[in-house]
Amino acid sequence: MALLWGYFNMFIDRVRDQLHIVLAMSPIGGAFRTRLRKFPSLVNCCTIDWFQAWPEDALEIVAQRFLEDVELSDDHRNGVVELCKNFHESTRMLSERFQREVNRHNYVTPTSY
């Protein structure tokens, strides 16, 4: 009987070491946020990999949403939105350089504003 438990434990150890699960979800819309609220381990215990760069208009919309409650004139708000887009783009380029030089990933998302 001990031999069977040894095989079972060896199997479990191998599964833990080698099993990888890939989940693909669209980050657009409320369904993604709802899933993250229901299952916080999707953020805490997983690696999130954004496969495509965010388009400029999406970056602008995210920046505008973050600044909705901040009192700014329209000129200042537009300037801050441009800065947010610039910060995001330059951080993304530096992250690519970091990955080439150190072989480590740094993921940049608009929520990092």
pTM of the entire predicted model: 0.53
Span 14-51, pLDDT tens digits: 998 998 888 888 777 788 888 888 998 888 888 777 66
CA atoms of 49 and 27, how far apart (whole Å)? 11
Placement of tokens 């990933």 in the chain: 105
Contact 112, 59 (CB under 8 A): no
* 3: exposed, middle or buried (Cβ count in 10 Å: 0-12, 13-18, 19+): exposed
CA atoms of 54 and 66, how far apart (whole Å)? 16
Span 72-95, pLDDT tens digits: 999 999 999 999 999 989 988 999
Q: Which two tokens stand for residue 56?
A: 């400029």
Placement of tokens 């690696």 in the chain: 47
CA atoms of 16 and 89, how far apart (whole Å)? 37
Which has the closest alpha carbon to 78: 63, 59, 62? 63
